[in-house]
Amino acid sequence: MNYYERPTPLQEQANIEAMQHFAEHLNQFKANCAALRNIECNLSTTANDALKSALLSPGRVIQTDDGTQWQHDIDLSKVTSVCHRRTATGLEFAVVECLPLKSGEMKEVLNSGHSVREVLQAFMRDQRQVLNLWKEDLKAQVREHLDEKYPRQDMGIVVESFEIKMARAISETRLHTQSQSRGIRI
């Protein structure tokens, strides 16, 4: 199919309906892209703030599901924080995710290491992979929704539109990070 052709009126209607149906998913996706972009843009400041916090104050204790105790340094988002603990080899940093669940709170170490900057970089790399998986999952949900609602109709252009919107949000994050690392301002 040639995605440069104009959509049919039925495809345009399907796109409007799908955009409404998946609006919350797209908003969450874009918000996560923006949060990642914010961390990437402020990597040095975030790493310095976490290090200062680790050196200056003990922070509240967070016990992860594996029983390890970490001290909170700074929040990256509503559910992720940079934490630290003292070990025989010095400070160890971690990105800890605290997810509220009906059965309690799940607290898991996502990344850890002795360099807060490297821990944050690993976290960002992992989050970009998560965004790509999320994009593929949402694309499959959109395709399934359209197949059910419009059987035997070609809605590939609508699915492609969703994929482009999500890919663009991810790309904006990467482009901004690359230009920041080269010292180029957009």
pLDDT on residue 62: 93
pLDDT on residue 4: 67
What is the pTM assigned to this prediction?
A: 0.81
Nearest to 107 by CA among 162, 147, 60, 146: 60
pLDDT on residue 15: 93
- Other beta carbons less than 10 A from residue 54's beta carbon: 23
In this structure, are residues 36 and 173 in contact, taking their beta carbons and an 8 Å threshold?
A: yes
Q: What is the pLDDT along the chain (186 residues), one digit of tens a residue?
A: 445 678 899 999 999 999 999 999 999 999 899 989 999 999 999 999 999 999 997 879 999 999 999 999 999 988 999 999 999 999 999 999 999 887 778 999 999 999 999 999 999 999 999 999 999 999 999 999 999 999 999 999 999 998 998 989 888 765 555 555 555 443
pLDDT on residue 118: 97
Residue 59 host element (H or E)? none
pLDDT on residue 174: 57
- Other beta carbons less than 10 A from residue 84's beta carbon: 25
CA distance 136 to 6: 24
pLDDT on residue 178: 53
